[in-house]
Structure 1
Amino acid sequence: MESHSSRIQVVTTLLSLTSSLAPIPLVLASTSCKFPAIFNFGDSNSDTGGFSAVFGQAGPPHANLATLSPTVRTPNTTLRQSGISPISLDVQYDEFYDVPSSRSQIVRRSNSIKVVNAVGKKQIKKDPLSSSLYKNKASLSLSLYTQHMEFVFLKHHVLFGLVIWATLLPSPGICTGPCSFPAIFNFGDSNSDTGGLSAAFGQAPYPNGETYFHVPSGRFSDGRLVIDFIAEGLGLPHLSAFLDSIGSNFSHGANFATAGSTVIFPNTTISQSGASPISLDVQLLQFSDFHTRSQIYRTKGELFEKSLPKEEYFSQALYTFDIAQNDITAGYKLNWTAEQVKAYLPYVLTQLSNAIKSVYGQGGRSFWIHNTGPLGCLPYVLVRFVTDPAQINKYGCADQINEVAQFFNQRLKEAVVQLKKDLPLAAITYVDVYSVKYTLITQAKKYGFENPLIACCGHGGKYNFDRYAKCGAKKIINGTETLIAKSCDDPTVRINWDGTHFTEAANKWIFQQIVNGSFSDPPNPLKTACRCS
Structure 2
Amino acid sequence: MEIWKRIVVFEMMLSLGLMGCLVNGFGGGGGGGVPQRRCWFPAVYNFGDSNSDTGGRSAALGEVRPPNGETFFGKPSGRYCDGRLVIDFIAENLGLPYLNAYLDSIGTSFRHGANFATAGSSILPGGYSPFFLDIQISQFIQFKKRTIALYNKLADTNQVYKDVLPRPEEFSKSLYTFDIGQNDISHGFQYSNVSQTLQSIPKMMDKFSQALYQLYGEGARNFWIHNTGPIGCLPTSVAYNKDNHNNVDNTGCAATQNRVAQEFNRQLKTRVLQLRAQLPQAVFTVVDMYSAKYAVVSNAGSHGFQDPFSFCCCGKKQMANETGYGDPCSDPSRRISWDGVHYSEAANLILARSVMYGSFSDPPLPVAEACR
TM-score range, shorter chain: 0.7 to 0.9
Q: Which residue of 1 aligns with 2:247?
A: 391
- Matched-pair contact (CA < 8 Å) for 2:326–2:340: no
**C-alpha displacement at 1:459, in angstroms?**
6.8
Q: Which residue of 1 aligns with 2:71?
A: 211
Q: Which residue of 2 aligns with 1:261?
A: 121
31, 38, 63: which one pairs with 1:178? 38
Q: Which residue of 2 aligns with 1:317?
A: 174
Q: Which residue of 2 aligns with 1:501?
A: 342
Q: TM-score, normalised by structure 1?
A: 0.60
**C-alpha displacement at 1:313, in angstroms?**
1.4
Task: After superposition, give the CA deviation of every residue in 1:438-469 in whole Å (9 maximum; x if it has no partner).
Answer: 01001100111112111111477xxx53379x
**C-alpha displacement at 1:306, in angstroms?**
0.6
Secondary structure at the aligned position of 2:224 is classed as: strand
**C-alpha displacement at 1:396, in angstroms?**
1.8
Q: Which residue of 1 aligns with 2:147?
A: 294
Structure 1 segments (4+ residues) deviating >6 Å: none
- Matched-pair contact (CA < 8 Å) for 1:459–1:466: no
360, 369, 372: which one pairs with 2:225? 369
Q: Which residue of 2 aligns with 1:514?
A: 355
- Whether 2:160 is the aligned partner of 1:332: answer no
Letter in 1 for 2:183: N
**C-alpha displacement at 1:384, in angstroms?**
4.4
C-alpha spacing 1:516/1:421, structure 2 compared with 1 (3 Å): same
**C-alpha displacement at 1:304, in angstroms?**
1.1
Task: After superposition, give the CA deviation of every residue in 1:130-161 in whole Å (9 maximum; x if it has no partner).
Answer: xxxxxxxxxxxxxxxxxxxxxxxxxxxxxxxx
Secondary structure at the aligned position of 1:240 is classed as: coil
Cα distance in 2 for partners of 1:217, 1:280 equals: 23
Secondary structure at the aligned position of 2:319 is classed as: coil
Secondary structure at the aligned position of 2:187 is classed as: helix
Secondary structure at the aligned position of 1:367 is classed as: strand
**C-alpha displacement at 1:312, in angstroms?**
1.3
Letter in 1 for 2:231: L
- Matched-pair contact (CA < 8 Å) for 2:336–2:343: yes
Cα distance in 2 for partners of 1:508, 1:423 equals: 33
Letter in 1 for 2:165: L
C-alpha spacing 1:458/1:261, structure 2 compared with 1 (3 Å): same
Task: After superposition, give the CA deviation of every residue in 1:298-327 in whole Å (9 maximum; x if it has no partner).
Answer: 232211111110011110000001001001
423, 441, 454: which one pairs with 2:297? 441
Cα distance in 2 for partners of 1:388, 1:459 equals: 29
Taking the TM superposition and a 5 Å limit, the aligned residue runs for 1:133-282 are: 177-266=37-126, 275-282=128-135
Letter in 2 for 1:258: T
Cα distance in 2 for partners of 1:496, 1:419 equals: 34
Q: Which residue of 1 aligns with 2:364?
A: 523
Secondary structure at the aligned position of 2:102 is classed as: coil
Segments of 5+ residues of structure 2 without an aligned counterpart are 1-34
Secondary structure at the aligned position of 1:185 is classed as: strand
- Matched-pair contact (CA < 8 Å) for 2:124–2:184: yes
Cα distance in 1 for partners of 2:207, 2:92 equals: 30
**C-alpha displacement at 1:496, in angstroms?**
0.2
- Matched-pair contact (CA < 8 Å) for 1:449–1:494: yes
271, 284, 307: which one pairs with 2:164? 307
- Whether 2:278 is the aligned partner of 1:422: answer yes
236, 243, 259: which one pairs with 1:403? 259
C-alpha spacing 1:393/1:465, structure 2 compared with 1 (3 Å): farther
Cα distance in 1 for partners of 2:327, 2:111 equals: 36
Cα distance in 2 for partners of 1:458, 1:315 equals: 40
Secondary structure at the aligned position of 1:211 is classed as: coil
Segments of 5+ residues of structure 1 without an aligned counterpart are 1-174, 269-274, 469-483
Q: Which residue of 2 aligns with 1:165?
A: none
Q: Which residue of 2 aligns with 1:451?
A: 307
Cα distance in 2 for partners of 1:377, 1:325 equals: 12
- Matched-pair contact (CA < 8 Å) for 2:311–2:326: no
Cα distance in 2 for partners of 1:252, 1:220 equals: 23
Secondary structure at the aligned position of 1:305 is classed as: helix
- Matched-pair contact (CA < 8 Å) for 2:288–2:361: yes
Q: Which residue of 2 aligns with 1:344?
A: 200
Letter in 2 for 1:257: A
- Matched-pair contact (CA < 8 Å) for 1:458–1:466: no
Q: Which residue of 2 aligns with 1:490?
A: 331
Task: After superposition, give the CA deviation of every residue in 1:494-521 in whole Å (9 maximum; x if it has no partner).
Answer: 1100010000110010000111101100
Cα distance in 2 for partners of 1:512, 1:364 equals: 26
Cα distance in 2 for partners of 1:181, 1:233 equals: 11
- Matched-pair contact (CA < 8 Å) for 1:431–1:519: yes
Task: After superposition, give the CA deviation of every residue in 1:77-114 in whole Å (9 maximum; x if it has no partner).
Answer: xxxxxxxxxxxxxxxxxxxxxxxxxxxxxxxxxxxxxx
Identity of aligned residues (%): 49
Secondary structure at the aligned position of 1:326 is classed as: helix
- Matched-pair contact (CA < 8 Å) for 1:239–1:254: yes
Letter in 1 for 2:369: T
Name the count of aligned residue pairs: 332
Q: Which residue of 2 aligns with 1:285?
A: 138
Cα distance in 2 for partners of 1:188, 1:492 equals: 25
Structure of greater relative contact order (alpha carbons < 8 Å, 6+ residues apart): 2
Secondary structure at the aligned position of 1:466 is classed as: strand
**C-alpha displacement at 1:189, in angstroms?**
0.2
Letter in 1 for 2:319: D
Q: TM-score, normalised by structure 2?
A: 0.85
- Matched-pair contact (CA < 8 Å) for 2:238–2:309: no
- Greater gyration radius: 1
C-alpha spacing 1:318/1:445, structure 2 compared with 1 (3 Å): same
C-alpha spacing 1:438/1:445, structure 2 compared with 1 (3 Å): same
Cα distance in 1 for partners of 2:169, 2:308 equals: 43
**C-alpha displacement at 1:186, in angstroms?**
0.2
**C-alpha displacement at 1:387, in angstroms?**
5.5
